[in-house]
Amino acid sequence: MFSSTMIGLLPISLALLIGLVLVYFILHFFFVKQEPTNLPHGSMGWPFFGETIGYLKPHKSNSMGSFLEKHCSRYGKVFKSHLFGCPAIVSCDHELNTFILQNEERLFQSSYPKAVHGILGKLSMMLVSGELHKKLRSVAVSFISMSKSMPAFLHSVEKLSISVMESWKERREVVFFKEAKEFTLYLMLRHLLSIEPEETLASKILEDFLTFMKGFVSLPLNVPGSPYAKAVKARTRISSTLKEIIKEREKDNVGYETTSALLAIVVYFLGQHPNVLECLKDEHQAIRENKKYGEPLNWEDYKQMEFTSNVISEALRCGNVVKFVHRKALQDVTFKGYLIPSGWKVLPVLTAANLDPSVHEDPSEFNPWRWADQAMNRKVNPFGGGLRLCPGAELAKVEAAFFLHHLVLNYRWKIKGDDFPISCPYLEFKRGLLLEIEPREENGKQSLIGVSSL
Ligand code: HEM
């Protein structure tokens, strides 16, 4: 039963409640910015974390993953979310992705999260913009375009490919992704460690090397001040200097990691498609037959590897090496009626277009022959685009093509167990891509393995 006092208080409480609701609506109306109606649909997820955990959840790399599949079917190919600590627009729309990439520095700008700065180093090209980016990029582009077709570089790619395969001679199994990572890292170090003689670092290493060499030919007497003792110390210094350089350079691992991932996915798809492998082998056999025994490959040979190039492009489309890139909107942008608010993070998902049935026929089918259609190049962005188009694209392809040349001529392989590529979002293999390998005896004459002239 209500007491009379409580009944007396009822109208006051009711008036207070109505007052509070009114104050809330007035404050909301005047002080809280209304969300524009043309923002893409979506969910901002949990406070602070947003939807980042779901967005980064590992999935088979030849699929979109359940997060994107569910969000696209619920909200459409462009949706809003809260990712990496910011309100964000995610785009799985190829047209919008291309528009974002082409409008770098005008409407959008590269914007990687703080954590990435620590890993890449603050002068990494991907993290700088404007004039500094222009300068760094022009140095990189001219260095890469000069070296990619240089006989010395091509020779070094071929030599290293052969030595990797030589090391497999007595083996029946290889963890291929590990081998591919070593191959591309060694290639990069060989290239990057050719330090110019005028650099202080070069003279320091040279001095240590001379001390080391002197000690090398002296009595191994480890007493303080002896040439041997000095050499031991010099050796330690050389190794730590090199380690320092390697550590520094490893930070800029954009190139070597992605190239090894490319090699691994090509080998993975070839392992599943023997008909493609046969065609690829025919192309390389024809190239080898036109050369003298032991003659190294050159740029013209690479240009003849048309089917190889299509296999590589198709593996990039189906395997999805780089899933998405980070941008931010520099101003309010309206595209296809959607608003992308100024300051928001923008994530073009490059892999979405690769697997979009409205862009490609049977997108999940690995079919290198679809690349006979010249228009295919406009339907994918595996190397990004615009001002930040990957300067290493051709370099990665030539490394992969030369490695494949020797691989298909010298070995057969089978993928062991149920290994498959995973997008974490960087590419990984469940079991490191464990292969059962067998030398191809029938190609003994064409094989360059063991040719010392190379
Ligand atoms: C299959 C191999 C590769 C793939 C799939 C790949 C992919 C990409 C993508 C998507 C971007 C654009 C990033 C963005 O827009 O934010 C990029 C940029 C870049 N890539 Fe690659 N890349 C590969 C190999 C290489 C190699 C071999 C090198 C170096 C020799 C390299 C060096 C770079 C650099 C320096 C950038 C930054 C460019 C800039 O910001 O202007 N990449 N790469």
Query: Nearest to residue 344, comparing CAs of 326, 327, 329?
Result: 329
Contact between residue 402 and residue 425 where contact means Cβ atoms under 8 Å apart: no
Query: 408-450 pLDDT, tens per residue?
Result: 999 999 999 889 999 988 888 989 999 999 998 765 545 555 5
Instruction: Point out the ligand 1 atom lying closest to the alpha carbon of residue 252.
Output: 35
Taking the model in full, what pTM does it have?
0.81
User: How far apart (Å, rounded) are the C-alpha atoms in residues 54 and 453?
Assistant: 53
Query: 101-160 pLDDT, tens per residue?
Result: 999 999 999 998 776 554 454 557 788 888 888 888 888 888 888 888 888 889 989 988
Tokens 């691992």 sit on residue: 253
Distances (CA, A) of 71 to 39, 40, 51, 76: 15, 12, 11, 7
Contact between residue 168 and residue 174 where contact means Cβ atoms under 8 Å apart: yes
Q: Which of the four CATH numbers 1.10.630.10, 3.40.50.720, 1.10.220.10, 1.10.3720.10 does domain 149-320+355-443 have? A: 1.10.630.10
Contact between residue 109 and residue 328 where contact means Cβ atoms under 8 Å apart: yes
pLDDT, greater one: 344 or 178: 344
Distance 396 CA to ligand 1 centre (A): 9
Q: What is the pLDDT of residue 6?
A: 55
pLDDT, greater one: 170 or 197: 170
Indicate left, alpha or beta for 75 from its phi (over 0: left) and psi (-120 to 50: alpha): alpha
**3-class SS at 46?**
strand
51-60, 91-100, 133-142, 261-270: lowest mean pLDDT where?
Answer: 133-142
Q: What is the pLDDT of residue 131?
A: 87
Tell the CATH topology of 34-148+323-354.
Answer: 3.30.43
Instruction: Point out the ligand 1 atom lying closest to the alpha carbon of residue 261.
Output: 1
Domain residue limits, the chain = 34-148+323-354, 149-320+355-443
HSE of 307 in the Cβ direction (CA atoms, 13 Å)? 18
Which of 249, 390, 394, 426 most suits a substitution to test ligand 1, by most atoms within 8 Å of the C-beta?
A: 390
Percentage of the chain beyond pLDDT 70 is 74
The mean pLDDT of 319-337, rounded to a whole number, is: 94
Distance 256 CA to ligand 1 centre (A): 10
For residue 331, is pLDDT > 70? Answer: yes
Distance 319 CA to ligand 1 centre (A): 16
Q: How does residue 254 score in pLDDT terms, banded at 50, 70 and 90?
A: low
Which of 145, 254, 256 most suits a substitution to test ligand 1, by most atoms within 8 Å of the C-beta?
A: 254
Q: What is the pLDDT of residue 183?
A: 86
Q: What's 50's DSSP letter? A: B
Q: Which protein residue's CA is at the shortest distance from atom 6 of ligand 1?
A: 383
User: With the CA atoms of 386, 38, 355 and 178 taken in that order, what torsion angle do they form, in degrees rounded to the nearest 10?
Assistant: 60
**3-class SS at 347?**
strand
Paired tokens of 397: 């392809």
Q: What is the pLDDT of residue 47?
A: 77
The mean pLDDT of 176-202, rounded to a whole number, is: 69
Instruction: Point out the ligand 1 atom lying closest to the alpha carbon of residue 327.
Output: 16
pLDDT, greater one: 435 or 45: 435
* Rg, the chain, Cα only: 29
User: With the CA atoms of 138, 142, 148 and 151 taken in that order, what torsion angle do they form, in degrees rounded to the nearest 10?
Assistant: -160
User: How far apart (Å, rounded) are the C-alpha atoms in residues 380 and 376?
Assistant: 7
Q: What is the pLDDT of residue 119?
A: 44
Across the chain, mean pLDDT equals 83
**3-class SS at 439?**
strand
Tokens 């190829």 sit on residue: 94
User: How far apart (Å, rounded) are the C-alpha atoms in residues 253 and 255?
Assistant: 5
Q: What's 376's DSSP letter? A: G
Which of 144, 383, 389, 426 most suits a substitution to test ligand 1, by most atoms within 8 Å of the C-beta?
A: 383
User: How far apart (Å, rounded) are the C-alpha atoms in residues 441 and 422?
Assistant: 33
86 annotated as belonging to a binding site for a ligand: no
Which of 125, 127, 190, 258 most suits a substitution to test ligand 1, by most atoms within 8 Å of the C-beta?
A: 258
HSE of 343 in the Cβ direction (CA atoms, 13 Å)? 3
Query: 309-324 pLDDT, tens per residue?
Result: 999 999 999 998 999 9
Tokens 């994530």 sit on residue: 347
Q: What is the pLDDT of residue 238?
A: 60
pLDDT, greater one: 184 or 327: 327
The mean pLDDT of 298-314, rounded to a whole number, is: 97
Distance 446 CA to ligand 1 centre (A): 34
Q: Which protein residue's CA is at the shortest distance from atom 3 of ligand 1?
A: 258
- Chain centre distance of CA 338: 29
Q: How does residue 407 score in pLDDT terms, banded at 50, 70 and 90?
A: very high
19-28, 229-238, 308-317: lowest mean pLDDT where?
Answer: 19-28
For residue 292, is pLDDT > 50? Answer: yes
For residue 281, is pLDDT > 70? Answer: yes
Instruction: Point out the ligand 1 atom lying closest to the alpha carbon of residue 104.
Output: 15
How many beta carbons lie within 10 A of that of residue 254, not counting itself? 16
User: What residues does ligand 1 touch, defined as CB less than 6 Å away?
Assistant: 110, 125-126, 137, 140, 144, 254-255, 258-259, 262, 321-322, 325, 382-384, 388, 390-392, 395-396
Helices (H) and strands (E) in the chain, counts: 16, 13
Distance 216 CA to ligand 1 centre (A): 42
Q: What is the pLDDT of residue 195?
A: 43
Distance 392 CA to ligand 1 centre (A): 6
Q: What is the pLDDT of residue 216?
A: 41
For residue 388, is pLDDT > 70? Answer: yes
For residue 92, is pLDDT > 90? Answer: yes
The mean pLDDT of 193-209, rounded to a whole number, is: 51
